[in-house]
A and B are shown apart, each in its own frame.
Chain A
């Protein structure tokens, strides 16, 4: 008998003035030990169907199904005790955001031990010992200490590991992973996916992997369901889905993996559009030392030099905390830099007063990651897009609205959207509005700070396409900040890799992907998810110490740079610089 049996599942949510169908009659089964991937964009009903399986939906949801069985129990008729047995022992779930999945006021050890005690009759001491064993199993090195940590003391990747340990604590027969790596960096994502696969094999569990990322699917599962608008579009073995997709939507998804663009032609003018010289940012932090406080400096960004030539797209990549966003904000003068110069059209703007800066504001604009908070919820789209004109006092209100409407069309939205509010739009549509607002003044520099990382794959491709088209039309120079290397590969002309506040490597895109020199760059490139299940491989991961130890070494003769005890950026080929030790 299959472990999970779902037949004709329908879920709808009641809302003011009607109901919204989230899932429209889907059926699937899952055998023991099998791994199934459910892929689809947000709103396609993939999370909702799995939540329905554990009866985790809010009271406004109406669930009907001819069959909804988990481990031989009818979920729809299950009582309280059956449900608590099902949740945990039959199926356990791990979520996208581990930060909100843990209770911030209890320690990790307490929360895992509590889960163990809820399902098994064991003493507190035994539960704690078991929790420790589980944490060790998910490759947390200092498990004994982590037991007494609070969630905020752990990084996202570590928390996700702890979350997996908690899910394992009741020996579930099926593990439901709901976008488990979406909130994580590429390198951490690769580690977590590998861990999930190992654990699945070791515990003999079945796995349901819910994701919008085909790379994750290619890495982990045997069988795939493709969902779109609450219906199953296509179902089959993972290799078949990738090799011979039958449905249009699946083809569209696959195409988004392999998007590529013409490189920008580059400008004739040799002066760069934007140049950052020795830009750094440090924060003063206060530590208690006995009776007194001592002050230390935290270096978020250490002396970064980046050149953005005209009509080019330069990527800044790196994990979270590497200082790439801070660099972008400093370049825009949204965060004050501690030292260094920001040169726009040959003039250093790092010390200008707000009034003197205003004309430069027209030349450089920014698009943010979170399109939801980037638009004022109380303004209509026309007002939002026209705001730059309003601030700079360009044209009459009528002309401003007219121009806003033009831009609405230019970014691919209908004119009738002008009177709508941001909350009525999807993430991709909101990002389009944000792009229109950034470009309506006709800037020459655009900083795009992870503009697509919160979006679905197909939407992401559209937004990237839009950015690229507008870049070519307007001759924009773009600083593209991202941790998504596949996008970087297809879109940008050159890449700057940042690691712990420093630039560790810088080269034209093709070269950096073909011949990475710095160990961190290699680690980043190695972590890119496969684009086809055939490319699955075992990965080895480097710790920070190993990366530091593997820093390349060159001699003075090779580089022409003066020897120094500290690693420094050396030029090893035209336009290719890498951080390395220079020995005499």
Chain B
């Protein structure tokens, strides 16, 4: 069918963002994911206000391994620490690693992707081979190796996650730049004497903003899962800093007797990753309606 042309003159003035927002609002799962994510972020930010006890303090040794109760919502762990407090503080580690790693991914991915897409040729070939290298190596195995070599730690994990997260952002930005560099407004800018750098900065990156946002949001759950996996294996963020991966690891030993030790951190991780993924998918559909159904 040919495209149906509809007069637009009498509609009120609306920016592309407005339409994206409407599309996002119509996706219930994404809105729910976004809300959950917002609650989790607020929880992590205001953790000291929500729970009065510090996460490392062994204040409840006498009640250790107690089941959930009105006093201790998620129970008490084997070392006498309030489990609810530890889950809330765990969100800080998970979310911050997720966001910082995603930010690093974007910082590496945008320039590399934009340059490869704009100039093409040998540079593009080189970048694509590096990307292939990263996509054949299983991230967890490589992360374990790197984690073991550097003995883990917060920033090591951020770096490892960024190292594997930039690939997606880079591919998306590259594809978008490649598609747009043939557009006539880029040609027009060239005809005006604009330098490649100006065109990339002023035209191509603003037009890639949707894949960048999407790449950023979808890199978050990947980084969180990587952190949890490494912490679970004992080469992530070292104790006593509470992280969900560590807590799942501890909880497994008690799983058949004290269910709360395994269930709460697993659920927290699952909910956070799910909410972020749903939010990211919704953003992608909203910002780039042509990708829908892929």
Q: Please report A residues at the B interface, Cβ cutoff 8 Å.
A: 13, 15-16, 18, 20, 22, 42-43, 47-48, 51, 56-58, 61, 95-97, 178-179, 229, 332, 334, 354, 357-358, 361-362, 364-366, 368-370, 373-379, 387-388, 391-392, 419-421, 423-426, 434, 437-438, 441
The answer to whether B6 and A374 touch across the interface, beta carbons within 8 angstroms, is no
Report if B194 contacts A (CB, 8 A).
Answer: yes
Chain B residue with the shortest CB-CB distance to A57: B4
B7 touching A374, Cβ below 8 Å: no
Q: Mark B6-20, 1 if CB is under 8 A from A, else 0.
A: 111101011110010
Partner of B6, one of A20, A51, A370, A420: A20
Across the interface, do A95 and B15 meet the contact criterion of CB distance under 8 Å?
no
Chain B's closest residue to A178 (CB) is B2
A368 to B187, Cβ gap below 8 A? yes
Q: Is B1 an interface residue (CB 8 A)?
A: yes
Chain A residues with CB under 8 Å of B14's CB are: 424
Please name all residues of chain A whose beta carbon is closer than 8 Å to the beta carbon of B188 when the two chains form the complex.
366, 368, 374, 434, 437-438
Contact of A421 (CB < 8 Å), options: B1, B15, B191, B206? B15
Interface size class of B (residues with CB under 8 A): 20 to 34
Quick check: A376 and B203 within 8 Å, CB to CB?
Answer: yes
CB distance from A337 to the nearest CB of B (A): 15
Please, which residue of chain A has its CB at the minimum distance from the CB of B208? A378
Which residue of the partner chain, among B1, B22, B198, contacts A391 with CB atoms under 8 Å? B198
B108 to chain A: closest CB distance in Å? 23
A sample of 20 inter-chain contacts (CB < 8 A) reads A13-B6, A16-B22, A51-B1, A95-B2, A229-B7, A334-B190, A361-B192, A365-B191, A365-B192, A366-B187, A366-B188, A366-B191, A368-B184, A370-B184, A376-B185, A377-B207, A387-B192, A391-B192, A391-B193, A424-B14
Q: Establish whether residues A426 and B9, one from each chain, have CB atoms under 8 Å apart when the complex forms.
A: yes
- Within 11-43 of B, Cβ neighbours of A (below 8 Å) are at 11, 13-16, 19, 22
User: Once the chains bind, are A361 and B22 in contact (CB under 8 Å)?
Assistant: no
Q: Would you call B189 an interface residue if the criterion is a C-beta within 8 Å of the partner chain's C-beta atoms? A: yes
Docked pose: A48 CA to B7 CA in angstroms: 13
**B19 engages A16 (CB within 8 Å):** yes
Query: Within the complex, what minimum Cβ distance (angstroms) separates A375 from chain B?
Result: 6
Q: Which residue of B lies closest to A357 (CB)?
A: B193
Beyond A376-B206, A388-B192, A425-B8, 8 additional contacts (C-beta under 8 Å) are A95-B2, A178-B2, A354-B193, A364-B191, A366-B187, A373-B183, A377-B207, A423-B8
Measured between beta carbons, the chain A residues less than 8 angstroms from B15 are: 421
B195 contacts A by Cβ under 8 Å: yes
- B189-220 CB mask vs A (1 if < 8 Å, else 0) is 11111110010000100110100000000000
B18 to chain A, nearest CB (A): 9
- B2: chain A residues within 8 A (beta carbon): 47, 95-97, 178-179
Residue B291 is within 8 A (CB to CB) of chain A in the complex: no
| B12 and chain A: residue at smallest CB distance | A17
Contact among A22, A375, A420 with B4 in the assembled complex (CB-CB below 8 Å) = A22
Residues of chain A contacted by B185 (CB below 8 angstroms): 373-376
Most chain B beta-carbon contacts within 10 A, residue among A179, A420, A424: A424
B136 at the interface (CB under 8 A from A): no
In Å, the complex CA distance between A332 and B193 comes to 11
> Do A43 and B187 form a contact, CB below 8 Å, given A378-B16, A391-B194?
no
In contact, A391 and B4 (Cβ under 8 angstroms): no
A15 to chain B, nearest CB (A): 8
A421 with B16: CB separation less than 8 A: yes
Q: Which A residues lie within 8 Å of B203 (CB)?
A: 376
A24 to chain B, nearest CB (A): 12
CA distance A388 to B198 in the complex (A): 12
* Contact yes or no, B184 A373, CB < 8 A: yes
**Which residues of B lie under 8 Å from residue A361 when comparing CB positions?**
191-193
Cα distance, A125 to B286, chains bound together (Å): 48
Does A374 lie within 8 Å of B16, measured CB to CB? no
Known: A373-B185, A391-B198, A421-B16. A358 touches B193 (CB 8 A): yes
**B5 interfacial contact with A, CB 8 Å:** yes
Determine whether the beta carbon of B194 is less than 8 Å from that of A332.
Answer: no
Could you say which residues of chain A place their CB within 8 Å of the CB of B19? Answer: 16
In the assembly, what is the distance between CA of A424 and CA of B14, in Å? 8
Inter-subunit contact B193/A362 (CB<8 Å):
yes
A420 to B9 Cα, complex, angstroms:
11
A380 → chain B, closest Cβ, in Å? 9
Contacts of A61 in B (CB 8 A): 4
The listed residue (B22, B187, B206) touching A334 by CB distance below 8 A is B187
With beta carbons under 8 angstroms apart, the residue of B4, B184, B190, B192 that contacts A48 is B4
Minimum CB–CB distance from B225 to chain A (whole Å) comes to 33
Distance A182 CA – B184 CA, assembled complex (angstroms): 21
Flag if A392 contacts B193 (CB, 8 Å): yes
Contact status B7-A43, CB under 8 Å? yes
What residues on A are CB-neighbors of B5 within 8 Å? 42-43, 47
Report yes or no: B191 in contact with A332, Cβ–Cβ below 8 A: yes
Inter-chain contact B7/A419, CB cutoff 8 Å? no
- What B residues does A424 contact at CB under 8 A? 8, 11, 13-14
CB distance from A358 to the nearest CB of B (A): 4
**Complex-state Cα separation, A441 to B209, whole angstroms:** 30
The chain B residue with its CB closest to the CB of A420 is B13
What distance in Å separates the Cβ of B171 from its nearest Cβ neighbour in chain A?
Answer: 21
Interface centre among B13, B19, B191 (most CB of A within 10 A): B191
Which residues from A are CB-within-8-Å of B7?
20, 43, 229
Tell me the bound Cα distance from A383 to B108 in angstroms: 29
A55 to chain B, nearest CB (A): 11
Q: Which residues from B are CB-within-8-Å of A354?
A: 193, 195
Contacts of A56 in B (CB 8 A): 1
Residue from B4, B5, B16 whose CB has the most chain A CB atoms within 10 Å: B4
List chain B residues, Cβ under 8 A from A16: 19, 22
Which residues from chain A contact B187 at a C-beta distance below 8 Å?
334, 366, 368, 374
CA distance A16 to B11 in the complex (A): 10
Q: A365 CA to B192 CA in the complex, in Å?
A: 7
| B198 contacts across to A, CB distance below 8 A | 391
A378, B190: Cβ atoms closer than 8 Å: no
Bound together, the chains give a CA A377 to CA B191 distance in angstroms of: 18
Nearest Cβ in chain B — how far from A7, in angstroms?
A: 22
Residues of chain B within 8 A (CB-CB) of A391 are 189, 192-194, 198
Identify the interface centre among A42, A357, A434: most chain B CB within 10 Å of its CB: A42
A376 touches B207 (CB 8 A): yes
